[in-house]
Amino acid sequence: MKHILIVDDSITMRRMVKVSLRTLEGANFEEAGNGLEALERLTLLQVDLMILDLNMPDMHGIEVLNFIRNHQTFHDLPVIVLTTRGDEANRLATLKAGASFYLTKPFEPSILAEKVKELLTLATQ
């Protein structure tokens, strides 16, 4: 079973992501409403992939991403950034910080599902 952590301060967006990924076989979803909660969940659960918003209270998504990439245990965790920030400078900075994939809202569910499948497959090789 693959564990996917969805991190977004909008409960509606977290639900939309889960619905978009409902066709993934053997997937278990966990949720976090902010960056601090995400880090807590990372330390308590086995997470195979994270879907991360950037604009959140308490801790910005880039800070979460930096923590993950600088922590030996989570360094290789696939992270898909799903955000409203569609400008090229922000996209490039986020990818440079270590995001595995960058997708803007509103998003196409099939693109998210395909990228999740791809990253989970790569992570198990």
Q: How many domains does the chain have?
A: 1
Q: What's this model's pTM, rounded to 2 decimal places?
A: 0.96
| Mean pLDDT score across all residues of the chain | 95
Is-contact 48 41, C-beta < 8 A? no
pLDDT at position 10 is 97
The phi, psi pair for 52, rounded to 5°, reads -125, 125
Total number of residues shown for the chain:
125
Provide the residue range defining the domain that includes 77: 2-123
Average pLDDT value for residue range 67-85? 96
Is-contact 98 69, C-beta < 8 A? yes
Summarised one tens digit per residue, pLDDT across range 85-118 is: 989 999 999 999 999 999 999 999 999 999 999 9
Is-contact 39 64, C-beta < 8 A? yes
| C-alpha distance from residue 57 to each of 37, 42, 86, 112 (Å) | 11, 18, 19, 24
Summarised one tens digit per residue, pLDDT across range 19-33 is: 999 999 889 999 999
- The CATH number of whichever domain residue 65 belongs to comes to 3.40.50.2300
